[in-house]
């Protein structure tokens, strides 16, 4: 789930949303989003359902999440596998 945390934070920034705006869209408390975007020691404090709700909110704002090998439907940025980690 660590890669999805990084994708959520990057997606939020690319969509031009503040943490508060994304929380409102996703219906989650600010502390929850901070845990998702936060440090690895917060692992396990947020349910997969909540992460999926935040992801869905970002998708509603035009963010496309890609798995390895998938292609974007439009312009964007991607981190090559194994780099930056």
pLDDT in tens, 45-72: 888 899 999 999 999 999 998 877 888 8
Choice among 31-35, 59-63, 76-80 with the minimum mean pLDDT: 76-80
Alpha-carbon distance of 55 to 26, in angstroms, equals: 8
CATH number of 14's domain: 1.10.260
Give the range of the structural domain holding residue 10, as residue numbers without chain letter. 1-85
Indicate the helix (H) or strand (E) that contains 33: helix 30-37
**Contact 8/52 with Cβ under 8 angstroms?**
no
Q: Which pTM value belongs to this model?
A: 0.81
DSSP 10-27: HHHHHTT--HHHHHHHHT
**How many separate domains does the chain show?**
1
Instruction: For tokens 């890669």, name the residue.
Output: 3
């Amino acid at each position: 789930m660590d890669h999805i945390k990084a994708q959520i934070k990057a997606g939020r920034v690319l969509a031009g949303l503040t943490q508060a705006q994304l929380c409102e869209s996703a219906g989650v408390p600010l502390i929850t989003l901070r845990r998702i975007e936060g440090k690895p020691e917060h692992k396990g404090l947020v349910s997969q359902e909540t992460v999926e709700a935040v992801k869905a909110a970002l998708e509603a704002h035009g963010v496309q999440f890609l798995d390895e090998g998938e292609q974007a439907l439009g312009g964007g940025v991607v981190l090559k596998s194994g780099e930056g980690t």
